Structure 1
Amino acid sequence: CELSSNASVSPGNFILHPSCDYDGLIPSVVFFLSFLLGVPGNIAVIIFRPNFQHLSSVSQKLMLNLVVSDLLCLLTLPLWIYAFLYMWTFGLVACKLLTFFVYCSTYGSGLTVTVLSVQRYLLVVHQKNWTHQMGVRLLLVLLWLFSIILSIPQLVFRQVTTLQNKTLCQSQYSSQAQRITVLLVEGLVGFTIFFLVVFSYTRLQKKVKQAAFFNNPQTTRLVTCIITSVFIFWVPYHFFDVLSAAAIFLNNEDLLQFCLTALYTVKALHAVNSCLNPLLYAFTSHNLCCKKSLSPKI
């Protein structure tokens, strides 16, 4: 099976479609399992709010925002599963809006994780607690506004096309410069999220080790899991974004073909990320809480 060099290579693109249907089976299974496990998990967090009594009001709002972002993304998976296994049959408007919706929720989730990480870092390491409720609301508005801005290219470039008798919803660019720009912007955002999360939790962990009353083994495991999950679920996408941009710039068809094939495999990781976030950030948040002698609730 061969992938078209005109296919979209963007993160969140759930409908890169090869010429053979069976190639869509693995990501479809991953999406199905993510939907099956992730939707009940995120709904459970909204209803039961586990360990929220240990969290500050700021962290509670960020946690709920993360859960809503992940849930919105997961709810679209049945449509993408159908598109993987068959073809896109929902029209141009649905193609643009649904992809835009997925990008918004994906960016919203990643940015919320970043803000949550930085907020915990500032509180534990620098003893700076943000309690102004209006400021928190403004932060969430700005977070979603930024997510919307980052997702606008999907409204512009997404088109319904036919390739080898398959109807696809994919990005179409009028020039290679447009394509490279979109890829590099997405890569820059992805790597920025990764480095901010790693920096925040690494510094937080260093502070934890200096405090005898922390449960260090539990906190160490949780921080390690958070950093590892962000690395696995964000870095591959954006690494191949940058590599794809380089392949296009260098006019290297073999490298671009490799990137397309790799992205077709790793794109399902975002769905898994939305499935695991409740476990990492909601059900285990009490492991990052510290006694009042060092800091208030996180």
Structure 2
Amino acid sequence: MISWFLCYLFLFERILFLTCSVNNITQYTTFSFSASRLCSMEQLNSTVVTSNISSSPVPPPPPSWDSSSLVTAVVLSLCFLLGVPGNTAVIILKPNRQHLSNLSQALMLNLAMSDLLCLLTLPLWIYTFLYSWTLGLVACKLLTYLMYCSLYGSMLTVTALSVQRYLQVVYLQKCLPQAGKRRLLALLWLVAMILSIPALVVRQLGTDGHWTQCKALYSSPAQEVAVLLTESLVGFVSFSLVAFAYISVHRKVHQAAFFNNPQTTWLVTSIIVTFFALWMPYLIINVLGVAAIAAKSEGLLKFCMNSWNIVGALTFVNSCLNPLLYAFASRNICTVCQKARHKYCC
């Protein structure tokens, strides 16, 4: 009996041990499953958060205002602040009108209007240099075309004024009739519109990081060379005519001691030097750009690309100084012309 009792006791102990072991294994398995499920949920939440962050729109970084953009924006801002009032004053006040012929009055008014039209587009270009273009492709092309038309119109008007004064002072040429004046102004704007067509063609929207820019994008190197050479040729021809005309006028004035006027010398010198200083850097960079494309020089081409905005901004300074040079300070040359037997011929 005792032996049987000991056997039952041993079996009960084994059963109890096995039961405890099974319970421990079940608890461990349950804990492991819960822990793994918790980790899986945390990973899922982390994945969802990461996906939401990556799919949400990332704001663009602040604009990188390099020195070239800042200098260009400052120069254009000064041109707008000084040039708009000056050219508006010429249109409203019409200075020295009593000393000018009808043709000269029309050319002066045309010069002031073309300069004013050009300067009124500057706020958009200033914003574009500092931020991004937001007006679309059509506005990009049309505003660029308008800017080039006004710039070419200003340059051609300055050239016409110089040639007119040369003919009237040196050759005592009589004034054009009213119909001739209208045809001349129409021809000036027609030529300006034709010369501005390449700007209308090559202007496109380009991306620079997160920013959209309205800039010239050429379809081929040959197209870029053609555009740059056209701009350079027009500029060099115009400057040559202006310089030749006013130097000839200056020589004619100094043939007689009576006309030897330091103010006239200063005015003629200022006109030539200003035209040269403000337009020649842009024309030279254009020529260097053509040379860089022909020689496939990436370093020179990069230098030209970094310089175009700055030297291009200088051409707008000319629109600020034109009222002083031609409208408010041109009486001396007109006086010379009048004393040369042609009343109101300047």
Q: Same-fold call, TM > 0.5?
A: yes
**Does 1:203 find its partner at 2:248?**
yes
SS of the residue aligned with 2:340?
A: coil
Give the equivalent residue in structure 2 for 1:116: 161
1:282 to 327, 330, 340: 327
Task: Report how far residue 281 of structure 1 moved.
Answer: 0.3
Q: Distance in 2 between matches of 1:243 and 1:48?
A: 42
Q: Distance in 2 between matches of 1:36 and 1:131?
A: 36
Task: Report how far residue 152 of structure 1 moved.
Answer: 0.7
Give the equivalent residue in structure 1 for 2:340: 294
Give the equivalent residue in structure 1 for 2:88: 43
Q: Give the total of aligned pairs.
A: 280
Query: Does the 8 Å CA contact 1:104/1:151 hold for their aligned counterparts?
Result: yes
C-alpha RMSD of the superposition: 1.3
Task: Report how far residue 175 of structure 1 moved.
Answer: 1.1
1:128 to 173, 176, 179: 173
Could you tell me which amino acid in structure 2 is paired with residue 210 of structure 1?
Q
Task: Report how far residue 293 of structure 1 moved.
Answer: 4.1
State TM-score, norm by structure 2. Answer: 0.79
Give the equivalent residue in structure 1 for 2:266: 221
Q: Distance in 2 between matches of 1:270 and 1:71?
A: 13
Higher-Rg member (1/2): 2
**Does 1:54 find its partner at 2:117?**
no
Give the equivalent residue in structure 1 for 2:282: 237
Query: Does the 8 Å CA contact 2:168/2:337 hold for their aligned counterparts?
Result: no
State TM-score, norm by structure 1. Answer: 0.91
Among all aligned residue pairs of Structure 1 and Structure 2, give the percentage whose two residues are the same amino acid: 59
Q: Structure 2: any 5+ residue segments left out of the alignment?
A: 1-62
1:193 to 238, 253, 258: 238
Distance 1:143 1:292, change over 3 A: closer
Could you tell me which amino acid in structure 2 is paired with residue 21 of structure 1?
W
Give the equivalent residue in structure 1 for 2:66: 22
Distance 1:133 1:244, change over 3 A: same
1:33 to 78, 86, 107: 78
Q: Larger RCO: Structure 1 or Structure 2 (Cα < 8 Å, ≥ 6 residues apart)?
A: 1
Task: Report how far residue 291 of structure 1 moved.
Answer: 6.0
Q: Distance in 2 between matches of 1:134 and 1:258?
A: 48
Q: Distance in 1 between matches of 2:108 and 2:337?
A: 21
**Does 1:156 find its partner at 2:183?**
no
Could you tell me which amino acid in structure 2 is paired with residue 137 of structure 1?
R
Between Structure 1 and Structure 2, the one with more helix by share is: 2
SS of the residue aligned with 1:129?
A: coil
Could you tell me which amino acid in structure 2 is paired with residue 236 of structure 1?
P
**Does 1:75 find its partner at 2:156?**
no
Deviations 1:217-266 (A, max 9, x none): 00000000000110011111111111101110110111111112222221
Summarize the alignment of residues 67-106 of structure 1 with structure 2, pairs less than 5 Å apart. 67-106=112-151
Query: Does the 8 Å CA contact 1:157/1:172 hold for their aligned counterparts?
Result: yes
Q: Distance in 1 between matches of 2:325 and 2:338?
A: 23
1:255 to 300, 306, 312: 300
Runs of 4+ in 1 over 3 A off after TM superposition: none
Task: Report how far residue 92 of structure 1 moved.
Answer: 0.3
| Stretch deviating more after TM superposition (162-171 or 45-54) | 162-171
Query: Does the 8 Å CA contact 1:124/1:295 hold for their aligned counterparts?
Result: no
Q: Distance in 1 between matches of 2:232 and 2:137?
A: 26
